[in-house]
Amino acid sequence: MEAIAILILVIALVGVALVATVTGLVVTRRRKPAPLPDTHTDVLGTPVEDGAEPVELSSPPATLEPEAPVEPETAPAPTLERPESTASRLQRLRQRLAGSQGALGRGLLALLSRDRLDEDTWESIEDTLLTADIGVGPTQELVDRLRTRMRVDGADASQAREVLREELLALVDPSMDRRLQVSGEDGRPGVVLVVGVNGAGKTTTVGKIARILVAEDRSVVLGAADTFRAAAVEQLATWGERVGVDVVRGPEGTDPASVAFEAVKQGASEGADTVIVDTAGRLQNKAGLMDELGKVKRVIEKQAPVTEVLLVLDATTGQNGMIQARVFSEVVDVTGIVLTKLDGSAKGGIVVAVQRELGVPVKLVGLGEGPDDLAPFDSGAFVDALLG
């Protein structure tokens, strides 16, 4: 019995020890959380620890004011250009022509200055004139007159230049009236109708003519009647803005005759000196379009007579330009020619050929791409340029 009591006591002691061990393990694994610091809040409601300096505001938060409305930006008024004077244009005309047209005259002078003018020489002179686009008729006429002057009248090589200048000048015909008819009568504006095929520089020419007239202190209205080409309308509007000229235009595809009518109407109501009407490029083999061009002219004349019909020709097209000139003259009774690109590869003889074909003068020539590179045609300056 005693042994059993001792065994029970030992078991009890071991159990107590195990309980104590387990209880101690549990306690050591539990971590007491760190005490939270005493805090308070600052004036903005932000927690601040004890001992920390509170955030102080120098002033209470500002009240946001609504922004003032932003004024829309207005585009500055375009600066108007002052076009070049006619006198200045003529001076540059001589310089440009001298640089581009001298080959013809130099070639003829070299042939006429030979000691002996035989048939071979005269054939060479004739060939030189024909390749310069003068045309068969005018070429034969000039050769015959030169033969007479050099053979019958006894002019020698030293007089060749003087003789050639006189005969070329007669061929260009300085007696033709080359003034632009830009003034109307009875208080109505003069009306200039500008025609020609696409690519000849027609719209650009309209803008350049406006600059010439503005330089002469004339009031001008432009009519953008090439309504099937939006680019042409925009281009003309830009030309007008640069010199302060009104441009009458309509939606794309509008009847060209109605735009032309409105342009003349506005010109008359404003008391403008001149109305210039740009037209669509017409191909000579499209009879319907050519009839339409005739309609534009008839509609305009219900308000004011057309005082000038200018045909724009690309001088580099040579004899092909003669076909265009012939057809246009049959439809709208051309009164003057504008030759563009005469400073490039054009051959000066086209001046003579087109005048002979239509019986009307070359009135303006284009000598470059600048805004003022259009000048009145001067017969003497042209012939001098041909002679180099």
Between 223 and 370, the more confident residue is: 223
Q: State the DSSP H helix or E strand holding residue 362, giving kind and residue range, or none if neither.
A: strand 362-366
- Is 128 assigned a ligand-binding role in the annotation? no
Res. 373: pLDDT tops 80: yes
Q: State the DSSP H helix or E strand holding residue 126, giving kind and residue range, or none if neither.
A: helix 119-131
- Is 200 assigned a ligand-binding role in the annotation? yes
Q: Which residues make up the CATH 3.40.50.300 domain(s) of the chain?
A: 190-334
- Is 198 assigned a ligand-binding role in the annotation? yes
- Is 378 assigned a ligand-binding role in the annotation? no
CB 197 within 8 A of CB 324: yes
- Is 265 assigned a ligand-binding role in the annotation? no
Q: What is the pLDDT of residue 195?
A: 93
Q: Which CATH superfamily is domain 86-172 in?
A: SRP54, nucleotide-binding domain (1.20.120.140)
- Is 38 assigned a ligand-binding role in the annotation? no
Q: What is the pLDDT of residue 294?
A: 86
- Is 201 assigned a ligand-binding role in the annotation? yes
Q: What is the pLDDT of residue 131?
A: 86
Q: What is the pLDDT of residue 21?
A: 43
- Is 32 assigned a ligand-binding role in the annotation? no
Q: Which residues make up the CATH 1.20.120.140 domain(s) of the chain?
A: 86-172
- CATH number for the domain formed by residue range(s) 190-334: 3.40.50.300
- Is 295 assigned a ligand-binding role in the annotation? no
Using pLDDT thresholds of 50, 70 and 90, give the confidence band for residue 231. confident
- Is 202 assigned a ligand-binding role in the annotation? yes
In tens, the pLDDT along 22-56 reads 344 333 233 333 444 444 444 334 444 444 444 44
- Is 282 assigned a ligand-binding role in the annotation? yes
- Is 254 assigned a ligand-binding role in the annotation? no
In tens, the pLDDT along 100-149 reads 556 778 888 889 888 888 899 999 999 988 888 888 999 999 999 999 98
- Is 280 assigned a ligand-binding role in the annotation? yes
Q: How many residues does the chain have?
A: 388
